[in-house]
Structure 1
């Protein structure tokens, strides 16, 4: 059977779904646990909840670093796997696990010394909230090595197209933590600290499961500094890209706040729904990373191009589905989040932009996954910076200067998406991303 025939079968919607759906569950597990954690701590009172918000922000950034490690590892491991060298693909996981564990240790140790100062900075000064946040953060940070080990494990297992074990490795510890959290907080008498302990238990167990999976592969576990340096370069580009995103969305929130409480409240509702759709569509991007990387590793650039087109189309279809759902819920969904008439009115200002943008965003997120799988991360980094500095940020601050309100902010986000869509389609067409071989 020809390579092309094999590739054609592998890019069927069923094959893509078999990778995307387990990835979606894994992606959703952590945010859902955070909701449970917040609900449990929220009943302790205002100070513990505020402290969790402060400390949780730091751990969310740690999880974001883990996502960067996972995405970088998936593409490299997938190429090795596609070239028929599973051992080399797993070896990429070994090196990214050393990198992840090292960064996790730095974070865990750093929070023991700098956690209090960081908590005071985020909490706006010394006080009960800062003290409670610092205590929570010192304990919760001990789970950082396990959290980042799990991210690296997700990366290499997706690269070898094994999505079943990550599902078990992530869901099991998170379910355990969801049970432990209320038990430690209330009957256990630990209060807010019980939440931190439950986090550490889950993250450490999760990391241990992924580490055990590496050991079971019977490959060399010796660190290889040259490979780790290569992975650091890839992670650097993804981090810079992520920072451009963070700066843009923080600016959008800052400008929305200048239009009043109702505007920033409505912006928060629409933005969180936007992040949720991005999370779901990221599952498709993860499938793209694995399949495209494997195709290019096998030397099948035609197959990789076919994959890119099909996954881009599926992303657009998913985006249209979300757009129809969001449009139909325009008069209902905002009421789930706020009973304030002013907030609902402002939400309707952002809503048309949100709906129009979703089909475009579906294609953008899918093609992001294609280029990450191809190792074309430098192009993605540069594109994101250009789209942010040349489109999103100027539009946001122009909306403020001209008093365009929330509609101006969401118009800016639409410009950001359109710039990225056009550039990604041009990149897809010229084919420079489709470099074959086990490594890029």
Structure 2
């Protein structure tokens, strides 16, 4: 294989791709472990309300923080391009901008917590006992919002420079400390739900502090505090445009998932439960593919910054190759062991049967979704976010048309077909814009 050398880094090889991707896959694997421990610890209290309170509180805060997920993606693309162009002053300035956005957004969350929490419980009502405990939980955790959102920017900045081992270290530290403090505060000190919240509060602030230490090289020069560069109007407008496009695209994508759940509820409790179980398979797929999509973000962004079209194409192909291997492997696992996995997730026989009926769609999902996942990473690295926004809107319209055509006749089967069609639509529409992305590398 011919090796391509980036001006920003070493030869582009499979080893380099795996060195970027595997730490992200491992970091993602720790996320469900933390959720299980949170649930298991409060479960030792012997009451249902604390479990529900921690669950709904975590979901509400995650949804609020998710709004700022654009900060991770936008920071990766813009930083990777600056890195590829050897504009190290801009790389350092990007970190400052990301941290400022995280800090301001987190402070806004703290100041607006009362209406945010009230609105959340209007959308997702709970029993008085659960709501009271959930409010206690969120009232503690919200004070780490600046840290939690800033970590998005820190993570994106590190990924852009292929420093995914540092991302893994931050994730392991945060989740490990969170688990240890869960056990100490809840089982040792008997603090209950506030103890779980305090554990996460301390873990998030310590994770942000560790992240800043990992980024300490940026603070050795003067660019990170160069007001003229950091607050340059043209760069700020470009960053705002990129982040706004990503936010709109993400909201549209979330709309597909939310509508899938709501429409599934119309078919009864059993199909709804089956859909929920099968979506966990999709979550596993996303965790596995994230590593290779993130590698595409970094490598494509660097190649574009270096104005190396051949390197950009090779980065896209090489990361997608590993994504394909992962998807084929996951499809085989789902096909061979999907029934057994379903049985471990529920003991309700009607739900088991329904989930098996719809399992073939989940076997197909990794294969049909591969191109959309990888193209997302490629387009984020190139910061072609307007294309992402527009093609996502078109994909939503195709999904809605498919739902209207198939669901009345086929029910939940039609809903699953429409869901998979949305993956294909994203892939096809973004694929049509890929030649323009490559051409950008030569301008």
Name the TM-score, length of structure 1 as normaliser: 0.92
Do the aligned partners of residues 5 and 235 (structure 1) sit closer, same or farther apart at CA in structure 2, a change above 3 Å counting?
closer
Match status 1:65 vs 2:72: no
Q: Structure 1 residues 349-358 or 58-67, which shifts more? A: 58-67
SS for the counterpart of 2:338 is: coil
How far 1:363 moved relative to its partner? 2.5
Paired position in structure 2 for 1:12: 13
How far 1:92 moved relative to its partner? 0.9
How far 1:364 moved relative to its partner? 2.0
SS for the counterpart of 2:437 is: coil
Q: Which runs of 5+ in 2 are unaligned?
A: none
Paired position in structure 2 for 1:396: 403
Paired position in structure 1 for 2:341: 333
How far 1:333 moved relative to its partner? 1.5
Matches within 5 A, 1:261-280: 261-280=269-288
Paired position in structure 2 for 1:417: 423
Matches within 5 A, 1:81-96: 81-96=83-98
1:309 aligns with one of 299, 312, 317: 317
SS for the counterpart of 1:331 is: helix
Matches within 5 A, 1:104-253: 104-111=106-113, 113-114=114-115, 116-118=117-119, 120-124=121-125, 127-217=128-218, 218-219=220-221, 220-222=223-225, 224-225=230-231, 226=233, 227-253=235-261
Paired position in structure 1 for 2:292: 284
Paired position in structure 2 for 1:39: 40
Paired position in structure 2 for 1:380: 388
SS for the counterpart of 1:432 is: helix
Conserved in 1, the CA contact under 8 Å of 2:289 and 2:373? yes
SS for the counterpart of 2:24 is: helix
Conserved in 2, the CA contact under 8 Å of 1:89 and 1:160? no
Do the aligned partners of residues 170 and 237 (structure 1) sit closer, same or farther apart at CA in structure 2, a change above 3 Å counting?
same
Do the aligned partners of residues 304 and 31 (structure 1) sit closer, same or farther apart at CA in structure 2, a change above 3 Å counting?
same
SS for the counterpart of 1:311 is: helix
Paired position in structure 1 for 2:28: 27
Conserved in 2, the CA contact under 8 Å of 1:374 and 1:434? no
SS for the counterpart of 2:339 is: coil
Between the aligned partners of 1:119 and 1:244, the Cα distance in structure 2 is 20
Between the aligned partners of 1:434 and 1:28, the Cα distance in structure 2 is 37
Conserved in 2, the CA contact under 8 Å of 1:290 and 1:373? yes
Cα RMSD (Å) of the superposition?
2.3
Conserved in 2, the CA contact under 8 Å of 1:97 and 1:149? yes
Do the aligned partners of residues 5 and 93 (structure 1) sit closer, same or farther apart at CA in structure 2, a change above 3 Å counting?
closer
Q: Structure 1 residues 164-173 or 338-347, which shifts more? A: 164-173
Between the aligned partners of 2:3 and 2:312, the Cα distance in structure 1 is 11
Conserved in 1, the CA contact under 8 Å of 2:395 and 2:429? no
Cα deviation code 1:175-198 (max 9, x no counterpart): 011010121112212100000000
Do the aligned partners of residues 399 and 344 (structure 1) sit closer, same or farther apart at CA in structure 2, a change above 3 Å counting?
farther
Do the aligned partners of residues 398 and 252 (structure 1) sit closer, same or farther apart at CA in structure 2, a change above 3 Å counting?
farther
Do the aligned partners of residues 229 and 61 (structure 1) sit closer, same or farther apart at CA in structure 2, a change above 3 Å counting?
farther
Do the aligned partners of residues 229 and 425 (structure 1) sit closer, same or farther apart at CA in structure 2, a change above 3 Å counting?
closer
Conserved in 2, the CA contact under 8 Å of 1:349 and 1:407? no
Match status 1:426 vs 2:428: no
Conserved in 2, the CA contact under 8 Å of 1:119 and 1:134? no
Between the aligned partners of 1:423 and 1:331, the Cα distance in structure 2 is 34
Cα deviation code 1:143-183 (max 9, x no counterpart): 11111111111111111222222222221122011010121
Do the aligned partners of residues 47 and 135 (structure 1) sit closer, same or farther apart at CA in structure 2, a change above 3 Å counting?
same
Q: Which runs of 5+ in 1 are unaligned?
A: none
Conserved in 1, the CA contact under 8 Å of 2:99 and 2:153? yes
